[in-house]
């Protein structure tokens, strides 16, 4: 191959430019650069041949060669940029996550929407029944002081009735002053205190909520369960009003064939007191394991508000009388849906829970 001459410079540049343009990726471009500018390239040979020229001619030829090389180097840099951008785009495409595909994949799965649990729906139905009977709904704290859970309810310290409620205490340094409420009855006290403070008596309210006892779970008990408390404080309220409300509620909630009965009982905060029971809905009164063969299930306690409780909250007993009741929401759910063992409600077995969606 004959040595290149300066006359061929434009042709060499044109060839180099078209070879650079033809490079399809970075590797080809690197190889091309070595060829165009490498030791044996035409440009390098021309560069070397400059030494043979006179100084004046050498300067002129050097400058021409320099600008030709510059054009080739610029073309090389431009092509490098174009190829890098192309490679970046290709990488983007390869990495692209099509969220539409992800959503579509999920939509193909059966949608598993949640639904309120059996206790929430039972509570809502109970509230509806009582609202229909003219009651309002109130709420109270789950963590209580000894005063609300016991003392104001006529259960002073060391009173033997405290044994009726095996209590979880909250460790706050001082022993046994703050506790998880064992029943919803303390909400009665909050309501009466508020009504006295705001002069808003009478009261006709129900108070649903969660309660806690150190009870061993069995077919009719849980350690965390729910009660709904009822309180009526008004003028001229008698035990007959209480019995009427209990029976009306029983028929409304469980149906006309289920009956209630009241049996004498003892609660420190009501006098007289009663336990109220309903026909066992599992055996319809015939006797079964769930009702211990009695045909009846205890739903809750009730009675006329004890004057000592009215005294604790400052209600004038010469004007007002009242009744209260409190019964288990879990027990209601159990009886309404014929659940033999209450522990199933707390077990979180989806196959059980889905029956009540």
Q: Looking at beta carbons only, is 72 or 138 nearer to ligand FA5?
A: 138
By the 10 Å C-beta count (0-12 exposed, 13-18 middle, 19+ buried), 324 is classed as: buried
Q: Which stretch binds ligand FA5 (CB under 6 A): 65-73, 138-146, 285-293, 295-303?
A: 295-303
Residue 186 as a binder of ligand FA5 (CB under 6 A): the answer is no
Q: Which stretch binds ligand FA5 (CB under 6 A): 48-56, 115-123, 237-245, 328-336?
A: 328-336
| Binding test (CB under 6 A) with ligand FA5, winner from 135, 225, 253, 320 | 225
Q: Looking at beta carbons only, is 73 or 161 nearer to ligand FA5?
A: 161
Q: Beta-carbon neighbour count of residue 7 at 10 Å?
A: 7
The structure tokens listed for 158 are 């060391």
Q: Looking at beta carbons only, is 49 or 167 nearer to ligand FA5?
A: 167
Q: At what angle do helices 9-22 and 42-49 cross, to 10 degrees?
A: 150
Coil, helix or strand for 305?
Answer: strand
Instruction: Give dist(CA 137, CA 206) in Å, integer.
Output: 5
Residue 301 as a binder of ligand FA5 (CB under 6 A): the answer is yes
Minimum distance, C-beta of residue 314 to ligand FA5, in the bound complex (Å): 20
| Binding test (CB under 6 A) with ligand FA5, winner from 249, 253, 320, 325 | 325
User: For residue 112, what are the contacts with CB-CB under 8 A and spacing of at least 6?
Assistant: none
The set of long-range contacts for 281-285, using a CB threshold of 8 Å and a minimum separation of 24, is 281/254, 281/335, 281/336, 281/338, 282/335, 282/338, 282/340, 284/257
Q: At what angle do helices 42-49 and 55-95 cross, to 10 degrees?
A: 160
Q: Looking at beta carbons only, is 43 or 253 nearer to ligand FA5?
A: 253
Helix residue spans in the chain (DSSP H): 9-22, 26-37, 42-49, 55-95, 99-108, 118-132, 146-149, 185-198, 239-254, 307-313, 329-337, 343-346, 350-353
The structure tokens listed for 71 are 């054009």
Residue 130 as a binder of ligand FA5 (CB under 6 A): the answer is no
Q: Which stretch binds ligand FA5 (CB under 6 A): 44-52, 63-71, 120-128, 299-307?
A: 299-307
Minimum distance, C-beta of residue 357 to ligand FA5, in the bound complex (Å): 23
Minimum distance, C-beta of residue 298 to ligand FA5, in the bound complex (Å): 5
| Binding test (CB under 6 A) with ligand FA5, winner from 140, 268, 303, 322 | 303
Q: Which stretch binds ligand FA5 (CB under 6 A): 15-23, 55-63, 292-300, 311-319?
A: 292-300
Q: Looking at beta carbons only, is 23 or 152 nearer to ligand FA5?
A: 152
Let me know: does 334 contact 327? Beta carbons within 8 Å.
no
| Binding test (CB under 6 A) with ligand FA5, winner from 58, 159, 210, 221 | 221
Binding to ligand FA5 (CB under 6 A): which residues in 240-279? 267, 270, 273
| Binding test (CB under 6 A) with ligand FA5, winner from 32, 206, 309, 324 | 324
Residue 326 as a binder of ligand FA5 (CB under 6 A): the answer is yes
Q: Beta-carbon neighbour count of residue 18 at 10 Å?
A: 10
| Binding test (CB under 6 A) with ligand FA5, winner from 185, 250, 281, 321 | 185
Q: Could you tell me the end-to-end alpha-carbon distance of the chain, in angstroms, rounded to an integer?
A: 90
Phi/psi for 267 (5° steps) reads -135, 135
Binding to ligand FA5 (CB under 6 A): which residues in 330-349? 330-331
Q: Which residues bind ligand FA5 (CB under 6 A)?
A: 183, 185, 213, 215, 221-222, 225, 227, 229, 267, 270, 273, 298-303, 324-328, 330-331
């Amino acid at each position: 191959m004959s040595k290149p001459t300066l006359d061929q410079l434009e042709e060499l540049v044109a060839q180099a430019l078209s070879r650079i343009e033809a490079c399809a990726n970075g590797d080809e471009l690197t190889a091309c650069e070595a060829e165009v500018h490498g030791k044996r390239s035409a440009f390098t040979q021309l560069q070397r041949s400059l030494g043979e020229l006179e100084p004046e001619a050498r300067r002129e030829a050097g400058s021409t060669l320099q600008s030709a090389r510059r054009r080739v180097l610029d073309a090389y840099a431009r092509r490098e940029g174009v190829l890098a951008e192309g490679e970046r785009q290709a990488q983007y495409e390869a990495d692209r996550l099509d969220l539409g595909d992800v959503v579509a994949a999920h939509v193909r799965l059966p949608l598993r929407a949640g639904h309120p649990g059996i206790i929430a729906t039972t509570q809502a139905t109970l509230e509806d029944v009582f609202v229909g009977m003219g009651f309002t709904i109130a709420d109270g704290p789950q963590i209580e002081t000894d005063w609300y859970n016991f003392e104001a309810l006529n259960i002073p310290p060391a009173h033997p009735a405290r044994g009726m409620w095996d209590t979880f205490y909250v460790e706050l340094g001082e022993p046994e002053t703050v506790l998880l409420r064992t029943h919803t009855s303390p909400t009665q006290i909050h309501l009466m205190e508020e009504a006295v403070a705001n002069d808003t008596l009478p009261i006709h309210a129900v108070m649903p909520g969660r309660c806690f006892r150190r009870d061993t779970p069995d077919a009719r008990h849980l350690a965390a369960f729910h009660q709904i408390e009822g309180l009526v404080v008004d003028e001229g309220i008698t035990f007959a009003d209480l019995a009427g409300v209990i029976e009306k509620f029983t028929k409304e909630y469980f149906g006309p064939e289920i009956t209630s009965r009241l049996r004498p009982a003892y609660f420190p905060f009501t006098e007289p007191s009663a336990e109220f029971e309903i026909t066992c809905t599992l055996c319809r009164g015939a006797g079964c394991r769930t009702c211990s063969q009695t045909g009846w299930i205890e739903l809750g306690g009730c009675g006329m508000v004890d004057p000592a409780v009215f005294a604790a909250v400052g209600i004038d007993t010469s004007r007002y009388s009242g009744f209260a009741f409190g019964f288990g929401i879990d027990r209601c759910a159990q009886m309404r849906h014929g659940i033999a063992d209450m522990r199933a409600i707390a077990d979180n077995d989806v196959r059980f829970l889905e029956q009540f969606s």
